[in-house]
Structure 1
Amino acid sequence: MRSNCREDAAQTRRRIAVEAARLIAEHGMRDFHAAKRKAAQRLGLAETAPLPRNAEIDEALREHQRLFQGHSQPAQLRLLREAAIEAMRFFARFEPRLVGAVLEGTADAVSAVCLHLFHDNFGEVIGFLDEHGIPFEQQDREFRFSAELREAFPVLLFSAAGTRVDVSVFPLDGLRRAPLDRNNERPMRRATLEVLLTLVD
């Protein structure tokens, strides 16, 4: 009986993960938690239904892209990685690191190039954008570093040649401690320009 319950729960999580992956890939949803909640609702499941882990959604997303976006997604990913190269060269003085879907390989036409910058004077980053005449929107974003520790850092959003760029700014000591990845609860993977150039090549 317990085995059947576990199998039913696993099948339910799988159904939700597949539908959430479709919502992410086809409708541009980027919040995994919101996507799995909406997926469960669309499947007519109760609010108490077992939800998949973010890693399960990430796996389902990669599978969806292989099956339904096999030609378009790799081409779009390459364009975004090339845009990321230009952005990282532009921000070279701020120790840029690439993070997120463009690095992990799941980016698509609605994805942004996400960078982490590092400088102890946030005003210099603002001044740098102003100096180059780049209009931007400023927000704050909360990052998790452990189960108990959350910290908010400024985020700058702008577009360059039709590509959305999402820049989080950390102090210099942030180079030594990465926030937790939402998919696996491990320190977020961050890539230097040299690593990105290797991926593109």
Structure 2
Amino acid sequence: MGRRAPNTRDQRMRMSLIREAARLMAEEAITDYAAAKRKAAERLGAADTRNLPSNQEIQQAVLEYQAVFGGSEHQQQLRRLRERAVEAMAFFERFRPRLVGPVLAGTADGSSGVQLHLFADTPETVLFFLMDHGIPYEADERRLRFGREGVVVQPVFRFLADGTVVELTVFGEGGLREAPRSEVHGGPMERAGIDEVRALLEAPEETP
């Protein structure tokens, strides 16, 4: 017997799940892809479906949604966040900062924060730097997946700068050699240095 052709109804449901999950992430500030997919499936009456879309499909749909419905307001929000990122990266220059997450990918909105990876001999080095500059912070942890080590818990310091949350995930000095796995596509996470982020700001804005 030949392979069964894809069910048209299943394909329509999959596309509906992609659109609804993207809308939830764009409008309701849901940042977790799995949570967005589950909520989308529940809203569409398909809570038991196993035909869930990939994170990459949803991220692309978020970009398209923001281009259509976010317009110039989204572009301005994204630009402000990238400007904040450059300011924070210049401030933490000694720790070789790299921008990651929605602000780099272009899916960030007004509720998003700036996520940076820093590299130091010990987390305390970053902690003392914050304290020396009188920056109130919140300590946390983040579970990240690596190809060889599996899941690793990394220290996080979070603070507020001009109304924007800045999140610092601290790695060892050798952490630049291997990026954590991306939750979007499973490969190494995209990271950008300050010159790359400045280049994004200098690039012409796309119009929907």
**8 Å Cα contact 1:61-1:106 kept in structure 2:** yes
**8 Å Cα contact 1:143-1:179 kept in structure 2:** yes
2-structure distance, mates of 1:171, 1:161: 28
**8 Å Cα contact 1:99-1:188 kept in structure 2:** yes
Q: Secondary structure at the match of 2:168?
A: strand
Task: After TM superposition, list the pairs within 5 Å mapping 1:1-201 onto structure 2.
Answer: 2-5=4-7, 7-146=8-147, 149-201=150-202
Shift of 1:147: 7.9
1-structure distance, mates of 2:54, 2:151: 20
2-structure distance, mates of 1:86, 1:200: 12
Rate the CA distance shift 1:147–1:11 in 2: closer, same or farther, 3 A.
farther
1:127-184 Cα shifts (integer Å, max 9, x gaps): 1111111111111111111287111100111110001111100001110000111111
2-structure distance, mates of 1:186, 1:62: 20
TM-score (norm 2): 0.92
Rate the CA distance shift 1:147–1:19 in 2: closer, same or farther, 3 A.
farther
| Structure 1 alignment gaps of length 5 or more | none
**8 Å Cα contact 2:145-2:180 kept in structure 1:** yes
Rate the CA distance shift 1:50–1:138 in 2: closer, same or farther, 3 A.
same
Shift of 1:57: 0.5
1-structure distance, mates of 2:132, 2:152: 29
2-structure distance, mates of 1:148, 1:123: 23
Aligned residues between the structures: 200
| Structure 2 alignment gaps of length 5 or more | 203-208
Q: Percent identity?
A: 47
2-structure distance, mates of 1:177, 1:4: 38
2-structure distance, mates of 1:43, 1:148: 38
Rate the CA distance shift 1:4–1:186 in 2: closer, same or farther, 3 A.
closer
Shift of 1:10: 2.9
1-structure distance, mates of 2:98, 2:169: 10
2-structure distance, mates of 1:69, 1:154: 34
**8 Å Cα contact 1:12-1:49 kept in structure 2:** no
Shift of 1:101: 1.0
Shifted more, 8-17 versus 172-181: the winner is 8-17
1-structure distance, mates of 2:112, 2:47: 31
Shifted more, 145-154 versus 32-41: the winner is 145-154
Q: Secondary structure at the match of 1:85?
A: helix
The AA in structure 1 aligned to 2:144 is F
